[in-house]
Amino acid sequence: MHKELLEDIGEKELIKRLARFMPKNQISDDCAFIKTANKDLLINTDSLVENVHFSNETISSLDIGWKAVSCNVSDLISSGCSKIIGVNIGLVVPAKTDWNWIQDLYKGINQALEYFGGSILGGDCSVGKEKVISITAIGIQGEIKLRRNSCKPKEIIMTTGLHGLSKLGLMIKSKKIFDKNIFLTQALIDSAIKQFCKPKLNPKFLKQILNARPKKSDKIIGCTDSSDGLFQALLDLSIESNCKAVIDYTKIPKHKDWPQGDEWDKYYFFGGEDYELVFSLPKKWATNLLNSEKTISEIGYFTEGSPSVEFKNLQNDNFLKYKSFAHF
């Protein structure tokens, strides 16, 4: 009998198959929604694995602690979380791990929780060949649900912040060789390293959305984060909402010193770990938000059609041949 290996079926197919063991639509979003008698809950789990997501050469354990919280909080925010309750921590480390490494890891976790809210609720630890930090974050579902499957044709597609910076930060910290013809300004270098090591996210996003809402009867919008890259975020929204995303390349917000070229477009759209929000709103709602929040940019719209991402005003689309990061 032929064995199917994970490297052959890939991460998306693995998740699709695992969905058979779960309630319907449980994998549409990264967060699980739990309805309770009082406040409804959002629960999310993300793991950082040594030599897959981090290494001692590129990032300190203090910053790993911050990122371990950030990647979970990002999923909560992109689902409409109004308050972070706390996190459970699963820690796997080799027996010869320096205590100072673990101490700094937990300092970083607490620094992030002081910024985002919540506390350490508990966890578990075990020995292993490589370090693994697995965090389960719990938050309260806010007044508006943010879901990947809720985008609609004619809605305006928007994004918070800038993309590509975390990828560039990783390349700088990894001492990757850049094209000698490319000059990176100190401002760009500083922004990239900061985004890679200590992403700040946008914990006030739900409040911004609520303030711009024209009708209180609107209770759900389409949204996800760009943890796997801007292109993958757009594709996920398109697939889950069963509509086509049309992106205007000229409207994409970039750092003022971001270099031009296919390679840099690839870093921008497929880099990942920027943890910005990608979402859509009806036109009036979108206009209200864009007028009040200058860090949010309109980048396109959804239309009827097969789930896909189409670009306009794009002279060269070679970078679109690239694929998003996958774990297998």
The CATH number for 153's domain is 3.90.650.10
Is residue 14 in some structural domain? yes
pTM for this prediction: 0.92
Span 93-122, average pLDDT: 97
Q: Tokens at residue 76, please?
A: 């909560």
Question: Rounded mean pLDDT of 253-266?
Answer: 94
pLDDT digits (tens, 9 = 90+) for 278-302: 999 999 999 999 999 999 999 999 9
Residue 76: is its pLDDT beyond 80?
Answer: yes
CA torsion 207→211→212→217, rounded to 10°?
A: 100
Q: Give yes or no for a contact between 319 and 269, defined as CB atoms under 8 angstroms apart.
A: yes
pLDDT band for position 327 (cuts 50, 70, 90): low
The C-alpha atoms of residue 304 and residue 242 are separated, in whole angstroms, by 8
Q: Is residue 117 in some structural domain?
A: yes
Shared-domain flag, residues 223 and 274: yes
Domain boundary among 141, 157, 179: 141
Task: Point out the least confidently predicted range of 5-19, 90-104, 190-204.
Answer: 5-19
* 183 shares its domain with 71: no
Q: Which two tokens stand for residue 14?
A: 């693995």
Domain end among 87, 110, 141: 141
Per-residue model confidence as pLDDT tens digits over 146-174:
999 999 999 999 999 999 999 999 999 99
Both 222 and 300 in one domain: the answer is: yes
**Residue 22 belongs to what domain range?**
6-141
pLDDT band (50, 70, 90) for residue 181: confident
Cβ within 8 Å of residue 87, ≥6 positions away = 69, 72, 109, 113, 118, 119, 120, 121, 135, 136, 137, 138
Q: What is the CATH number of the domain that holds 15?
A: 3.30.1330.10
Looking at residue 328, its pLDDT comes to 58
Higher pLDDT, 18 or 75: 75
Both 114 and 153 in one domain: the answer is no
Residue 71 placed within a domain:
yes
If asked whether residues 182 and 274 sit together in one domain, one would say yes
pLDDT band at 115 (very low <50, low <70, confident <90, very high): very high
Q: Strands across the sheet with 244-248, in order? A: 145-147, 220-225, 277-281, 156-160, 296-303, 244-248, 308-312
Q: Answer yes or no: is pLDDT of 324 > 80.
A: no
Specify the number of domains making up the chain: 2
Domain match, 14 and 125 both:
yes
- Would 326 be classed as within a structural domain? no
* Spatial separation of the C-alpha atoms in residues 206 and 225, rounded to whole Å: 13
**Residue 280: inside a domain, yes or no?**
yes
Q: What percent of the chain has pLDDT over 70?
A: 98
Q: Are residues 59 and 162 in the same domain?
A: no
What is the rounded CA–CA span in Å between residue 207 and residue 221?
14
User: 327 lies in a domain?
Assistant: no
Domain C-terminal end among 141, 167, 188: 141
Residue 118 sits in the same domain as residue 84: yes
95 pLDDT exceeds 80?
A: yes
User: Can you give the pLDDT at residue 30?
Assistant: 81
Q: Are residues 88 and 160 in the same domain?
A: no
Verify that 120 and 231 share a domain, yes or no: no
In a domain, 211, yes or no: yes
Q: Hey, which bits of 102-144 come out as E strands?
A: 119-127, 132-141
130 and 181 inside one domain: no
Q: pLDDT value at position 179? A: 73
Which helix (H) or strand (E) segment holds residue 12: the answer is helix 6-18
The band of 142, judged by pLDDT with boundaries at 50, 70 and 90, is very high
Please give the average per-residue pLDDT across 19-27, as a whole number.
79
Residue 328 included in any domain: no
298/160 same-domain check: yes
